[in-house]
Each structure stands twice: as structure tokens, then as C-alpha cells.
Chains A and B, each alone.
Chain A
Amino acid sequence: MTDTATTWFIIFALGIGTFALRFVFIGIIGDRALPPWVLRHLRYTAVAVLPGLVAPLVLWPAATGGTPDPARLAAALVTLGVGYLTKNVIYAILSGAATLYLGLYLIG
């Protein structure tokens, strides 16, 4: 894990950067319009970053030393399915957690 100075550097860099992203249009650009191609790419940022971040964690979990784990895989699939169908983050988290614990209980 990262040392204290680096951790605080990350916290403040992330804080300033995030504020800049939140402030950029509302504070500085004002009413001027953005090129459509920029907006078109910005629309997909969250959905472009999060799945890529999660995929290796699901497939090669550190807790099992990087070996695919049926309980974790099942939990991931159930979470995605429930989240997609219900559009409700909390239901998805709860059903994913329930699947994980059931899986670990049955298999582990």
C-alpha cells in the first residue's frame, strides 16, 4: 500500500482534478457550446472505464491468488443482471453479495 505522503498527494490531486472537471463548464466556459464530437465521447467515459477496471478483478481475484473463482464469477454475473434489469444499484449490490456468500458457503 502507498505511503502517507503519496496518499495525501493522491487525495488532493484527485480533489483538485475532480473539482476542475465539475467546474469547467459551469464556471469557465459558461453558455458557449462544445463541439458535438467531444460530448459524444464524454457520454461514454464512465461506461468505458468502470467495466475495464472491474473485469480483471472478477476474472483473476487477488483473494484466490489470481485463479478464477466460481463464487465470485457468479456474484459478478448476478450483480450485472440485476443492475441491468432493475436499474437499481442497491438491489444489484444486495443480490450480488447474497450470491457471493451463498457461493462461498456452498463451494468454499
Chain B
Amino acid sequence: MAASSTKSAYWKGFRDGIPFLLVVTPFALLFGVVATESGLNLLETMGFSIVVIAGASQFTALQLMNDNAPTLIVIASALAVNLRMAMYSASLTPYVGKAPIWKRAFIAYFMVDQAYAMSIVTYETRPEMSVAARVAYYFGVITLIVPFWYLFTLVGAMVGQSIPPEMALDFAVPITFIAMIGPMLRTPAHIAAAAVSVALALGFAWVPYNLGLMIAALGAMMTGAQTELWLERKART
């Protein structure tokens, strides 16, 4: 009985993951195209998508490498984009923290935005799920998403070289990032953080080694946190 409920949880996850292919496929294609346009070879492009599997940070690294930023700044900025993964990790822990360590390691490797978002909603609405069923569900969600991410990076990398400069692909990365920012602006605190990030990044653009971005990110995180506290206090009084 336990085995069959685990199996059905896996297939439910599998079905729930399918709509996200619409997001993952073009994003992976775009990464493949932009990476090869920036001069990465096929192996390096695939290396990014397989070793890192985190689109936004891959684009961040690529952009800064194009700007010839120092290696340390490239890594620090791209990792800063992925700090949200630590949030995901923290929020999944109460639900799957008791699974075997090797399964948790795989959960960590496959922790993409879509897998997290779908899983946490399901865990919250179905508290009766066993730990094994939750893990099975998670792996169900990523069963198609992750191979599609690899595959379409490859397709993008292969067609990338044949795209002419009139296509203005230089702007594909900014547009993709801005498209991701829009839905993130859920609360006044998020909007305040984003506004401060823009203002400080432009104001400190003269700082060498792209450190202006680090200054902007720190200032914006503090702005978000303080705005949240201030709104909470205001709501209470």
C-alpha cells in the first residue's frame, strides 16, 4: 500500500511538472543561444546547464564574463542570485528533512524554481503525505523539467551560431531578467528592494570590478528587510 501511494505521488508530480516545460524550454534555448553568441563552446555551454542548473545565475555569470569582470566577482554575483535556493532549502526541510541523505542530496541538486514552487504548494495542501511520497512527488516534478533544460540548452547552442546580429540578441538577457523581476514584485517591500537595487547599481556603476552590484544588492536586501519590518509595525498599530 505504501509502495502504491508513493508511485501515485510520483505520477502526480510528473503530471504537475508538465506545464512548466513551457517556461523551461524557451529559457534553456535562450541560454544555449546567448552562451554560444558570447563565445562559449558546446561543452562549456552544456557544462553550465548540467553542473549549475540555475538559469538566472547562469545568465548572470555569462553577462559578467562578457564584461570581463574578475572571476571572483562573476562567481560571487552569480551565487548571490542563487541565495534564494537557500530559502527554498530551508522551506522544504520540514517536509523532506527526514528522507535518506542521498535522496536529500538529489533533491538539492535538482532544486529549480519550478520544482520548489510546485512541491511546496502540494506539501502544504496535502499534509497527510508520507515523507517517501513527498520525495517521490518531487522527483516526479523534475523528471521532464531537468532533461528538457539540458536538451534545449543543447539545441540553443547548436542553432546559436547561425543567428545574425540584426536579431539584437544582446538584449535577450536583460529582457529575460526583467521578465523574471516583474512577478517577483509581490509586496511593497519587494518593490522597494528592487528600486533601491536599480538606484544603487546605477549610482555605483563607476566602482571597479562590478562591486557596485554587490553594494546595490546589500543595500536592496536591507531595504527589503527593513520595509517588511516597518510594514509589520504599521499593521499592528
A residues at B contact (CB < 8 Å): 1-2, 4, 6-15, 17-19, 21-27, 29-31, 34, 37, 39-63, 72, 75-76, 79-90, 92-93, 96-97, 100-101, 104
Contacts and interface: CB of A to CB of B under 8 A. Distances in A.
B97 A100 contact: no
Contact of B193 (A2, A22, A31, A48): A48
A75 B175 contact: yes
Interface of B: 22-23, 26-27, 38-41, 44, 47-48, 51-54, 56-58, 60-61, 63, 65-66, 68, 71, 74-75, 77-90, 92-94, 96-97, 101, 104-105, 107-109, 111, 168, 170-185, 189-190, 193-198, 200-202, 205, 212-213, 216-225, 228-229
B97 A51 contact: no
Q: Provide the main secondary structure of the chain B interface.
A: helix
A18 B174 contact: no
Q: Quick one: which of A14, A49, A72 has the most chain B CB within 10 A?
A: A49
Contacts of B193: 44, 47-48
B205 to A, nearest CB: 5
A49 B54 contact: no
